[in-house]
A and B are shown apart, each in its own frame.
Chain A
Amino acid sequence: MLNCSSASRSLLLTGAFFGALTIGAAAQQPAASPPAASPPAAAAPLPPGSPLIGRPDNSEAAAKLAPIAPPPIPAAADKLPTAKLKVPPGFNIEVYASGLANARSLAEGDKGTIFVGSRLVGNVYAISNKDGKRTVKTIASGLHRPNGVAFKNGTLYIAELSKISKVEKAEDNLEGPAKLATIYDNLPKDEAHGWKFIAIGPDNKLYIPVGQPGNNVLHSDAHGQIRRINLDGSGGEVIARGVRNTVGFDWNPENKQLYFTDNGRDWMSEDVPEDELNRITKVGEHFGAPYCLQGNIVDPEFGWGKSCSDYTAPVTLLGPHSAALGMRFYTGKMFPAAYRNAIIVARHGSWNRSKKVGGDVLLVKLNKDGTVKSTEPFITGFLEDNKYIGRPVDVMQMKDGSLLVSDDYNGAVYRVTYGKQKVADKK
């Protein structure tokens, strides 16, 4: 019979460690003694703001639901679901790069390098493209949820959970490890909704979301917002409040207004609230969370005495629990004219719903006044028999007008092209 010390002993041929072994076995980290109980009232009512308020009890269907974690190991290139992904007639979809565990946000460098963040594995990747041959390098690892990447004038910006760093001349050293210099860390450290999408606006400022630190919670003034800073980290300013968790935004090329996706709360019901597409028309607008959801439902817990008319309503709804994440305006010339200045939105896909919703990429067309004209599917097929075979996270238009889509479930980036210029990936 093996036990911790005797097995160790048997594996060690020298006796030098003998004395230490038995101690070593018993002397790992000090025990966190269970706190002496001052007995809480059994089944006490949930404190205000508990993320568990509204969580169904004794529901067999609900008991089957849990957040779905993407595997930390990327899928092999020949196991990617590209053949099952559907695009409209005339479009092509191919693997652009694989082997990027948990690939999340995308940014393109001046010289065509694609930088890719990750949420769960601590890595930032660079996909370089030389003479049609693409290579993937991990340029930073061990970071704390480096979900966000942005690029401007040779500098790469990386958003970790509670700090923003820059890497100067990022494309000149892709062998890594990248040299990160912190520019801003005046951010809460909450894990819940702490990961960040970032982007640089037409005003040359860096936009940073701070999510609400739980499913449905009242929170400090520092949470539930989008703020912007100068590229040196100075001049922080909150530009939107009532934002639960946005993981994608972009500026309308016509009037420079910021549009952003926002994820609705869990556990209220299967069908509401829906995720939102919002538009900021003036600095400081409040978008409702956690008081008003999807523009027309007062929250059952926090909505007492509140009215949805006091908050800015979304321009459209994107489906219940669908996890609408990355979104960008399409400004390229490769796709047909109808795509110009439309929004392309990646829906990561729901977990908090019996019949899954999302796992696709949508096309949202706008009217001249910036309101929504139509929403239609663009890429589908990530959801098969109520299971994900991939989960789209971010979308990014390349300089040639093709579109990249990241998939954190498979650790891959796909490229969508239109017409005959399909570049076959013979890898």
Chain B
Amino acid sequence: MRKIITALAFALIASATHAQSFEERVAPCLACHGEKGQSETENTPSLGAQQAPYTLIQLYMFREKLRANEIMNEMAKPLSDDDLRTFSDFIAKLPKPAPPAEAGDAARMQRGQAAAQQHRCNTCHNPDYSGKENVPRIANQREDYLARTLTEYKGNVRPGYDASMADVMAAVTPEQIGDLAYYLARVR
């Protein structure tokens, strides 16, 4: 499966490189991350209204292989510094992801909210979790992606750009990671 994905990524890049317009270049991004800022793809983050400085840093890290992900490492490989700016500015203007229609399990939402308060996620990510500058928007992000990311930060698997999240996650329990992801994906 790995090989197929890699081949697919190569094929996408090949077609993207030959494409002339920005719309054509950005199409492969939107194909997986969602055309309107909201991802329908498992473990693939929604990008809508993401903070441009954060996105630029992540694209840079993918390009330099400081953040490991086969597909994104390949996708980012041909990007110039100017491309990084153009793509992250474009992404910031996509509509922000919406919370799911149903409100979610009340008890679980309450536990998630309590964990978010306990660990003061809102200090850096803003009270509405929209993020600022290099701190990402996490409101209504995909639950699977949030849970995986928090787990990876806690385990020093995803190093992050700086060590802020490793620092914070030291005190967060695995149970709380599940509740935080559930809550942040649905927060209104």
Contact = CB atoms under 8 A, between A and B. Distances in A.
Given A29-B43, A34-B178, A40-B175, A51 B160 contact: no
Contacts of B30: 2, 7
Contacts of A27: 1, 5
Interface in B160-183: 160-164, 166-168, 170-171, 173-179, 181-182
Interface string A41-59: 0111011011110010100
Contact of B41 (A20, A23, A25, A120): A25
B86 interface: no
Interface in B90-139: 107-108, 110-111, 114-115, 117-120, 122-124, 126-127, 132-135
A192 B169 CA distance: 10
Contact of B118 (A38, A46, A217): A46
Interface stretch (A66-74, A251-259, A302-310, A390-398): A66-74
B114 A69 contact: no
A191 interface: yes
Contact of B8 (A8, A49, A55, A141): A8
Nearest to B158: A191
Contact of A36 (B32, B61, B143, B178): B178
Given A31-B144, A44-B118, A120-B161, A50 B56 contact: no
Contacts of B41: 3-4, 25-26, 28
Contacts of B179: 37, 40
A121 interface: yes
A241 to B, nearest CB: 20
Interface in A85-138: 119-122
A35 interface: yes
Given A2-B27, A37-B178, A63-B122, A71 B56 contact: yes
Contacts of B108: 37
Given A21-B8, A52-B120, A62-B123, A8 B28 contact: yes
A72 B56 contact: yes
Nearest to A38: B175
Contact of B66 (A66, A121, A192, A193): A121
B182 A34 contact: yes
Among A17, A69, A121, A189, the most chain B Cβ lie within 10 Å of the Cβ of A69
A45 to B, nearest CB: 9
A144 interface: yes
A214 interface: yes
Contact of B156 (A62, A65, A73, A190): A190
Nearest to A189: B156
Tell me whether chain A's interface is mostly helix, strand or loop, or mixed. Answer: loop
Contacts of A23: 1, 4
A24 B178 contact: no
A87 B115 CA distance: 48
A170 B92 CA distance: 43
A71 B53 contact: yes
B28 A11 contact: yes
Contact of A42 (B1, B84, B110): B110
B156 A191 contact: yes
A287 to B, nearest CB: 21
A402 to B, nearest CB: 30
A25 B32 contact: yes
Contact of A20 (B4, B118, B151): B4
Contacts of A35: 147, 174-175, 177-178
B35 interface: yes
A13 B66 CA distance: 32
B81 A73 contact: yes
Nearest to B82: A73
Given A28-B5, A193-B163, A66 B178 contact: no
Interface in A133-185: 141-142, 144-145
Contact of A191 (B160, B177, B181): B160
A338 interface: no
Contacts of A36: 178
Nearest to B36: A1
B81 to A, nearest CB: 5
A246 interface: no
B171 A3 contact: no
Interface of A: 1-8, 10-13, 17, 20-21, 23-29, 31-40, 42-44, 46-47, 49-52, 55, 57, 62-63, 65-69, 71-73, 119-122, 141-142, 144-145, 189-195, 213-215, 217
14 contacts: A24-B5, A28-B5, A28-B43, A34-B143, A34-B177, A42-B111, A44-B118, A46-B118, A47-B171, A52-B118, A62-B123, A67-B124, A71-B53, A142-B64
List the 3 closest pairs (A to B, CB-CB), nearest first: A7-B31, A191-B166, A34-B178
Interface of B: 1, 4-5, 7-8, 11-12, 15-16, 27-28, 30-32, 35, 40-44, 53, 56-57, 60-61, 64-66, 69, 71, 81, 84-85, 107-108, 110-111, 114-115, 117-120, 122-124, 126-127, 132-135, 143-144, 147-148, 151, 156, 159-164, 166-168, 170-171, 173-179, 181-182
Given A11-B28, A71-B57, 11 more contacts: A7-B27, A11-B31, A29-B69, A37-B111, A51-B168, A63-B123, A65-B123, A72-B61, A73-B56, A121-B66, A141-B64
